[in-house]
Amino acid sequence: MKELIINKLHTLEKEYSIKILHACETGSRAWGFPSPDSDYDVRMIYVHDLEWYLSIGKKKDTLNFPIDEHELDITGWELKKSLGLMHKSNASLFERLRSPIVYISDPNFRKDMIGFSNKCFSPIATMHHYLSLGKSSWEECRDGAEVKLKRYFYAIRAAVCCKWVLERNEIPHIVMREMFSILSDELVKKLDRLIELKSTKSESYMYVRDVEIDDFIVSTIESSEAVASDLKSGNSDIASMEKYFSGLIINYHDDSRFKG
């Protein structure tokens, strides 16, 4: 499957005259709790050919493709848009840069972008992102004795990320298990069993909610919401990012690799 995805990405490069700087997996496969029938959520950061940047008109800075017969869900953000989101401490971008499943990536670009993300990290923005995800996911779970396990995991992971920001004041890990050190041993055991269960069940599988997991989700959302507005904002250096952007565009268009 990885080879098929990489070939598809190279085809998109040719069709849309772009150069992919980073392409990775997100969603449940990258988070560490996929189902056998989980989609492949491929996300990319790319640059256009030079003419695109020389135009004075506003251009579309995203690419979105419908899910195909291989369950491939591919979307992408153009570099300038990505840096703008970086400046705002966009948690989804931070996750993409740290994905454990990488299809295409310039290692220097990824290293540079992770460096920017560490400087731009805003605890308040990140907390509000995961709080929003947690609340909306829990809203879909709380009224039924049985819930879609997929949606239950969305609420669980969002709560774990909120707790990580509160206790560690760091960008949450994309792989949920890498944050289990902040959870109780009993909760970790339950979540490990749940991850194993999900690996054998379809995306539509219904699960009887667990009281302890429910309590964790609710209490973490409540405690996070109580202090979210008091957290610090980011410290991004927009001038450095603009300099990096212009240098990168020049370097890539001087590089014969972009020309195929």
Instruction: Identify the pLDDT of residue 236.
Output: 81
Mean pLDDT, residues 82-90: 96
Contact 172, 156 (CB under 8 A): no
Q: Of 107, 94, 96, 106, which Cα lies nearest the Cα of 30? A: 96
| Per-residue pLDDT, 87 | 94
d(CA 22, CA 97): 8
User: Cβ-count burial of 148 within 10 angstroms (0-12 exposed, 13-18 middle, 19+ buried)?
Assistant: middle
Tally of CB atoms within 10 A around 95: 22
Q: What are phi and psi of 37, to 5 degrees?
A: -105, 20
Angle between helices 107-120 and 238-254 (to 10 degrees): 170
Helix H segments across 17-148?
A: 27-31, 50-54, 79-87, 91-97, 107-120, 123-141
| pLDDT greater than 60 at residue 208 | yes
Q: Does the pLDDT value for residue 256 go beyond 70?
A: no
Residue 58's pLDDT is what?
Answer: 85
Check whether 49 has a pLDDT greater than 90: no
The answer to whether the pTM exceeds 0.85 is yes
Residue 183 has pLDDT above 80, yes or no: yes
Cα angle value 142/153/165 (rounded, 5°): 100
Model pLDDT for residues 16-44, shown as the tens digit of each residue: 999 999 999 999 999 999 999 999 999 99
Q: What residue type is 94 in one-letter code?
A: F
pLDDT of amino acid 9:
97
- Percent with pLDDT over 70 in the chain: 97
pLDDT at 244: 93
- Phi then psi dihedrals of residue 41, to 5 deg: -95, 95
User: pLDDT at residue 10 above 90?
Assistant: yes
Please report the pLDDT score of residue 196 as a whole number: 97
Q: Is 258's pLDDT higher than 80?
A: no
Smallest Cα–Cα separation from 134: which of 166, 107, 106? 166
**What string of DSSP letters covers 43-58?**
EEEEEE-HHHHH-SS-
- Predicted pLDDT at 97: 98
- Ramachandran class of 114: left when φ > 0, alpha when ψ lies in -120 to 50, beta otherwise: alpha
Predicted confidence band of residue 228 (pLDDT cuts 50, 70, 90) = very high
- What mean pLDDT comes out for the span 197-220? 96
Of residues 171, 167, 154, 168, the one with CA closest to residue 213: 154
pLDDT digits (tens, 9 = 90+) for 109-168: 999 999 999 999 999 999 999 999 999 999 999 998 999 999 999 999 999 999 999 999
Q: pLDDT-derived band of residue 91, with 50, 70 and 90 as boundaries? A: very high
- What confidence score (pLDDT) does residue 255 get? 61
Tell me how far apart the alpha carbons of residues 15 and 63 are, in angstroms, rounded to a whole number.
12
The residues pairing with 46 across neighbouring beta strands, listed in sequence order, are: 20, 78
